[in-house]
Amino acid sequence: MKVVSPLAGLQRASTIQCAVQCDMNPSCYSSHSPNSEGVDCRLAEWKPSLQADPTCEYYLQKLPGTLLNYTGIGQGLFHPTEPNQGRGCLMIAVYQAPDSTCCNGRWADNTRGYSTPLIPIKADDLMISVFKAPDHTCCNGRWADNAQMSTLDYQIYKMGMQVVGPIAHLELPTSVECAFHCHMSKNPICYTFSVTKSSGGVDCRLSGWKPNLQADPDSEYFILKIAGGYELVPGTSSYVKTVVIATKNWNQAEADCETDGGRLAVDNNQPIHAYMTQMILSLGIYSNVGAGTGYFWIGGQSTTDAYHWRLLDGTLLNYTGIGQGLFHPTEPNQGGGCLMIAVYKAPDTTCCNGRWADNVCTITTWSSGYFCEIQVPVFMWIMGVSLVLSLKSQLMKSFSRKQIFIRILQRSTILFFLDLILNARLTNSLTDMRLLRIPGVLQCFSIVYFLVATQELFLFKLPDVSLQGLARLGRNC
């Protein structure tokens, strides 16, 4: 085979000199030379065009990427007994003690086509994972299908809750495999699942969206995916769905969102606000006062009049006139009711940022749709778990309860005032103290954190590790 359209054509005395020239050229991966005195050396890139020529030989000089050359087993990252299959493809595994490499990943070679019996291979791209006990593969690395497993971004939603009336009931080694079965379930579609610890692994219960739940201290309830149409808003734990429909009033829109397990979206932080604004812009639906269209229902209602509002997350907003907070300079002008959001075109001074307006809750003529929101309370769960671990660690390190209480007070205060700063952009509360949002989301977190952490601090009892305590423990055993 002869290279067509080479990177360079050279006359050299031998194929070795041709190979040296290719090695010195970073763009060259292969070469060819005729079987004659001297050679016509043609340097080529990766996968060049070739044509048949019985006097030529085509050489592969190097492969794209890193080349590793060893002289025996156990070199580099290979296990001391590897490679032992002659040639093939690379694998990695963690070997259990008493293996001398425990517990650091080591390479091995294997022939093409090998796969684990745990999860069938259904795509070309592979992932590897180490499954914990009681999984029967522990603690050896096992392959998984990347196209399937890479989507399993499931997260715990409720501890101590178990699915009632599941669409499928399985006994599996791990919660990872339960998540995988949920992901693969298509008819009916599995959105959530619960796992309950059992002697042989986990009791896996697959379920649809919004299943019936019952209390069980040994169970955990997970969300694998959200109901159709929802997108995760970057920087938040909220999923938002945009619905374009001109026949729903505020109450009907809220009922639809509740059917999904959510609510009308609460415009209480910059990422949510930016997301809704960008969705409206992408749809090209702008405020049209003359036609009475271009407004979307969101989660908020007035309390006493047009200047006092309650968002669906409980946030209270108090204004004194039009154009305050996120309201358009001409809003509110309907005497209160329910909250809408719209984007106004230039030359409007607010173009092209979403602005609020008020309207009668039962009206449909101004509505072009609504935004639904499902919020997964990941932060509160993480805060609760880390709180217990942190308090125990500090007490074990002989910090006094007074010192720890001061830290709790400091963190609560920081969270409280951080909420004011983050929302100042939305409510102008730094320039007008009457617009202070209390309580906001982080302020609620700070209050809950202070109360729970303080209670845990003064009620938590450390185990007695003194000699007397150990002696008592021994007698009891």
Spatial separation of the C-alpha atoms in residues 97 and 318, rounded to whole Å: 65
359 and 241, same domain (yes or no): yes
209 and 239, same domain (yes or no): no
In 126-210, DSSP assigns E strands to: 126-129, 142-145, 155-164, 168-172, 192-198, 201-207
Dihedrals phi, psi of 11, to nearest 5 degrees: -105, 120
Strands 192-198 and 155-164: unpaired
169 and 206, same domain (yes or no): yes
246 and 282, same domain (yes or no): yes
215 and 246, same domain (yes or no): no
Could you tell me the two tokens for 346?
Answer: 């230039």
Spatial separation of the C-alpha atoms in residues 408 and 454, rounded to whole Å: 7
Residue 476 lies in a domain: no
Spatial separation of the C-alpha atoms in residues 125 and 145, rounded to whole Å: 7
Partners of 429 in beta bridges:
none
Residue 143 lies in a domain: no
239 and 356, same domain (yes or no): yes
Q: What is the pLDDT of residues 83-98, one digit of tens each?
A: 876 656 788 887 776 7
195 and 261, same domain (yes or no): no
The pTM of the full predicted model, rounded to 2 decimals, is 0.49
Spatial separation of the C-alpha atoms in residues 41 and 10, rounded to whole Å: 5
271 and 392, same domain (yes or no): no
Residue 477 lies in a domain: no
Per-residue pLDDT at 399: 83
Per-residue pLDDT at 113: 39
Q: Is the pLDDT of residue 431 over 60?
A: no
pLDDT tier at 118, thresholds 50, 70, 90: very low
194 and 318, same domain (yes or no): no
Residue 359 lies in a domain: yes
| β-sheet with 155-164: strand ranges across | 155-164, 212-223, 192-198, 201-207, 168-172
Could you tell me the two tokens for 286?
Answer: 């702008």
Spatial separation of the C-alpha atoms in residues 477 and 472, rounded to whole Å: 9
Poorest-pLDDT segment among 125-139, 170-184, 282-296, 301-315: 125-139
262 and 205, same domain (yes or no): no
245 and 312, same domain (yes or no): yes
Q: What's the number of domains the chain is made of? A: 4
State which of 348, 375, 402 marks the end of a domain: 375
Q: What is the pLDDT of residues 162-191, one digit of tens each?
A: 999 999 999 988 888 888 888 888 778 888
238 and 296, same domain (yes or no): yes
Range of the domain at 356: 231-375
Residue 132 lies in a domain: no
Q: What is the separation of C-alpha 232 from the centre of its chain, rounded to a whole number of angstroms?
A: 9
- Answer left, alpha or beta for residue 14, where phi above 0 means left and psi between -120 and 50 means alpha: beta
